[in-house]
Structure 1
Amino acid sequence: MRHICTWLTILDLSLLWPCVISMNFLISFSQQTKHVNHIRVKREWSWEPLYVSEEQEVNKALYVGQIKSDSDKQDGSIKYILSGDGAGTIFTMNENSGKISVLKKLDREEKSFYTLRAQAINRFTGVSVEAESEFVIKILDINDNEPQFINGPYVAEVPEMSPKGTYVMQVTAIDLDDPAYGSNARLVYSILQGQPQFSIEIKSGIIRVASQIDRETKDQYHVIIQAKDMIGNVGALSATATVTINVSDINDNAPKFQQKTYNMSIIESASVGEIVGVILADDNDIGRNAEIIYSIEERGDYSMFNISTDLITQEGIITLNKVVDFERRSRRYNIQVRAQNKFQMELFDTAIIRIYVVDVDEPPVFIKKEYFMEILENATIGSFIGSVTAKDPDITNSTVRYGILQKKHSRSFEIYSNNGSIITARPLDRESDPWHNITVTATEAKNAAHVSYVPVHIRIIDVNDNAPQLQIEYDSYVCEKSRAGQHVETISAVDKDEPTLSLPFSFILPPEDTSNANFTVIDNGDNTATVLAVRDGYSYQETPLFYLPIIISDNGTPALSSTNTLTIKVCDCGTDNNKESCRQGGFFFKFLNSGAFIAISVFTFLILVLALLLHMKFQKNHVALTEKGEDLKENIVKYDDEGGGEEDTEAFDMIGLRHHTVMREHKTKRTIRTDIQSMYRLSLGLGPDVAIFREYLSEKLEEANTDPSILPLDSLHSYAFEGTGSTSGSLSSIESSGSNIGPYF
């Protein structure tokens, strides 16, 4: 063992650890031999350092090194066996000499070392001469890999005007070669493009600002960085990367006007708020740093104009603050405007603006914006109401002509075209139109296109020209059992005139009616009056209606009055003497409260009795015809034209449809009773004569019972009675004459 360790001291220190492993295997092998032969035999391995350079072209087996046992006598009795990584495919061993060769090209970056095992046995007995030993073949590195930048692409940002040495960013490159072997993987960085603005640290790859940079000059730089291995020596490999460095803006520029003096103009007819012109100051900064605020400094005519900032275009918009007048005021205005940075007030610029007023031919101008006038409603046609005035504002002072726009109310007025005086053209009525709104025009005589307009409001003043009237059409009643002094109705009046002219109202009876024996009127002094009964008791039968004339006067100058008639109806009012029942029931209620109710009841009862008797008689005749076996003839007549009157009945005999013995006798025309009251009398509440109705119905019932020509069918007879006063008499079919066939039901 002492000899083996002495040999290994000559080898590279990097191979010491395989030696230790080999010693462990030799110790193990010695122990195994001891157990087998029971005799301790001291044997040793010996080999050369084993290295293979990568990327070597191998056309035939290339010698690497040799391992052998110190017990090998070179007599061919020992056989060497190789196993482990790549044994037989990458590496091969001569079994007689122990020489190791490589069979193909190797790549250290793929595999940097191979671990193999060697064994020495007796060729004849197969017994191990040496214990199996493990060893390593190391692949030597060559500079065959270029550096590679990682974490790209590289983009950085740095503020403009940054001081020298300001950190920008760091770039990193790697080399796949062996960093522990020579300088193949030792990198250095340099700038190929981007100086003198930027620099880079050779070993770390940190990029820094090398000189002052201005965004307004250049806002982006493309810096090319190179990474080279072998510390940049000859034969070194390199790679490059581009770093995009954006220069961010700082607020370091003041706004600048494009010119120091601006000339603008505005017409004198421009209204307040109208745009005069636009100015623009440039700021070389960007974004928020370029935002500008415009203002007018308190110099010159600063109060005549305003300036505002357009937040989108960053323009200063000048507008008119006060009306300008070419004829009366200055014809040129001077203002000084200021453009300053929104966030850095000390960054600003100023400019002078001259604004010239341009004369225009303006339309006439009315002295007032609107006119208010008044006139009495009873004013005669041609009465003066008022006048309007307009003037030409121009220096020429042209003549003005007046007119009225033709509208609904304008036809009631006229205007003098030369002086603007307004007069009435039609009668006026305050009750129809209390106000009239017209539009007056003013036109230049020399230029009809220049027209101005002004509204004129004309109020019609009321005069007392309407007499008061009853407020409503009263539905007044007086009970038949009323007592003298009892309340009948409370009335009020209305007047179309204004209350100040008409109130208060007064209520009186006409002079010829002051001694009215039925009713009287009491003026309440509050524009109402009370109608009272004068006597006890009223008769609906004698006088159902009373007409009470009432004079209503107003308090105007002169006072006007009107006679109004109050209709008062007499009502039964029932047992409780309540007039409300009269209003609720109306005519029908009064009618039922008279004797007509009894008459209608009796008439209805007689009609029912008559219908019952007729029904019984029809049933009896039907049975008699059936017993005699007489058949009724039936004819079917078909019509296919519009009809020809009586000619259409020639197809059959109408008499055959009746019983042969039943022929109605001719009746003489009944004399009309003139003492029967008409329905008109009933409508007046006078009531019918019950006895006369009873006699009339009895006669009709007797005729029906004795009529031998009645049909054997149920029938309902209907009678109509016109009553007294009708020259036509009864319309009943029983009274019909001129036919022997009889009535049809």
Structure 2
Amino acid sequence: MRTQIQRRVVCWRALWLLCFSVVWSATDAQLRYTIPEELKEGSVVGNIAKDLGLDVSEISNRKLRIASESGKQYFSLNLRNGELLVSEVIDRETLCGQSASCVLPLQVIIEDPLQFYRVEVEIQDINDNSPVFQSDTKNLDASETTLIGARFPLEPAQDPDVGSNALRKYALNKNDYFVLQVKNDKDGTKVPEIVLQKALDREKQSLHHLILTGIDGGDPARSGTSQITIKVLDVNDNAPVFEQDLYEIKVKENSTPGTIIQIVTAIDEDDGVNGEIEYLLGSVTPETQKGLFSIDSDSGELTISKSIDYEMSNTYKIDIRARDKGVPVTEGHCTVHVKVLDINDNAPEITIASSPKPVREDAPAGTMVALLNVKDLDSGVNGNVTLGMTRDTPFKLKPTFSNHYALVTDSRLDRETFPRYEIELKATDSGSPPLESKKIITVEILDVNDNPPVFSERVYSVYMKENSSPGSILASVTASDLDTGENAKIVYSLLDSNTQGVPVSSYVYINAENGSIFSMHSFDYEKIKIFHVIVLAKDHGSPSLSSNATVHVFILDQNDNAPAVIYPSTSMGSVSHQRMPRAAKAGHLVTKVTAVDADSGHNAWLFYRLAEATDASLFSVNLHTGEVRTKRAVSEHDDPSQRLTIEIKDNGEPIQCTTVTVEILIEEGTQEAISDYNIKTTENNKKSGKITLYLIISLGTVSVFSVLTLFTLIVKCVRSSIRNSSCCIRRTDSGYKNPNRNLQIQLNTDGPIKYVEVLGGDMMSQSQSFGSYLSPMSEFSDLTLIKPSSTGNFTDTLNTLDASLPDSAWTFESQQVREQQ
């Protein structure tokens, strides 16, 4: 009876397994999760119930559970919400070693009705391991007869991490005898070697201490070091030499332990003990591989010690050394590459059929850049390949025919923004798990002339002293062009323009290569005070592009003009003759010396001084006004003929001066003449009244004109401020006086010499200027109206006259500077 029950149980189990196999054969890996290693216990991997479309109530009703195919349960299922949780911290290196892919398969079983699903959890590597050398110290022996260029293989650092977190490079401390070289094996392993670059001499230095550092590619990077001590030995200068430096063999992963996979042979040219060779596994061979392979010390037979697993590693690199028994011991090295054969483990390959050529930045969309094709050595589903590329680039992949693509432009290019593109191509097959490969191609963008030169400033202001020597540099303008090559080469030139009717090219010239502007001749501030230069920057592109900038050149005044005496006049001779009565009292105004300076500002301030006199105790000269007055009453003993030499100095640097000689005749009876003059003046009140009336009318008219002019200037200033142009300049209290006056009225009634001046327009232009002088020494009050000619002598004289006037003078000024376009 019990036997029948056992048979029924066995039958039911067989039937259950048959149903399970049928159902499982109809399913495939339906869920896949990716998590990094070292996640804490309880971390959520994903929600299996949600991803399978199950309600929370179905989790317990249908008895949802998971089972691990690996035998060890790394995950657990939260039956309340269907979340897949980490139940044990996963170390990818322990689980999968250095395999490129690490996947943990799970089975999801649901009852009522029975359903099976496959869940794959991919474990991604993190940089949690530093490169570690097999030993912290390494001792090497080197003969002093070792030739320069000799190589000493070193122990490579082991880094359990994979991908970008794996070992990337080595570094060796600086020394005079050895340099580091890294040899890349076919499997991608980086083997450090030190190479002798300077002959060893044991008598000079018997020990060399080196530090080898291994650095991985993580962020931040990790590193490990090994101390290398090289002992320089003597004698036995021939090391064993293998027949091949590299042995490449293929071994099936199911080969049985004890199988001989390769026999290596080395030859030592030495005799006796120095020629006896024994074979050993080299220190470069990792400890994990020393347990898998062994070598016979006498025959050199390399055998398999333990079963090898393709999933753990598909290639092995074994370092074998042949060591003689001489003193000192010398050894030779060879490397055996063992390739483990497996099935269906080929990643797609990307081939560049036509390398990308440089593309013009004005290329239209759809321009072909390169031809590509992909292939996969696998077959079936594992051989179906999909090709993708980096997003957010102005390129796209256009399929042509089977597994062939064209890389074409997709939008507008701009070399100035992106002169080159690094495009990553990614090929992925349809296998399970899928394999992929990447390749980066570079596309250079060619420049077209689409950017004009741009000046560092649109407007330059340059200040230059007058009388500077010709050829002096005024300014340097610079322009830049975002293009390259010929499109960025700039030539500078001057645009045709006139200043005061003279071409600007006669004033300055420009260096076409560097934009330096030089003067053609010396400038005179009294003739020209400002001029404008328009510089054109033009590139060498086709068609060429250009832009311009304006250079304002301001001429600065120098004290290069001596004062000029305008009263008393000495045109008829070198001496001016004046008369005065012997009855004159102290303070009597004898005459007034008036001078002007063609310069401006401080250079035009004038000072008067009595340089020489027949009797210095009789006369004095006012320092600022030039008035000549008596210091005391004239006595009968004074010489009737007095000669005065008056010196006029300006305030410039260096000081300019001039002198005027006044001959004063002291006469008897002049008092009566003066009385007669006063009577005649009384009789001519009507005539003087008319003159005064004319002056009042003139002053009123000028005042109205001044108000209108000022209003017009204000309106222009407001309008011009919108265009960022300078409009009005007013004289400040600093004492600087701009000679460009549109209107100036001066009235002086101090003393017996009376005058009024009305100046209109620019002093350098063909403007009109009127002046009236009334001398008390003449019999009648004379009114003289003077209109200057086109020459600049008298105009320059009037231009600086106001600089020497006393503070009692009344001046109205209005100035307008027009920017030359």
Give TM-score scaled by structure 1 length: 0.37
Q: TM-score, normalised by structure 2?
A: 0.34
Is the radius of gyration larger for structure 1 or structure 2? Answer: 1
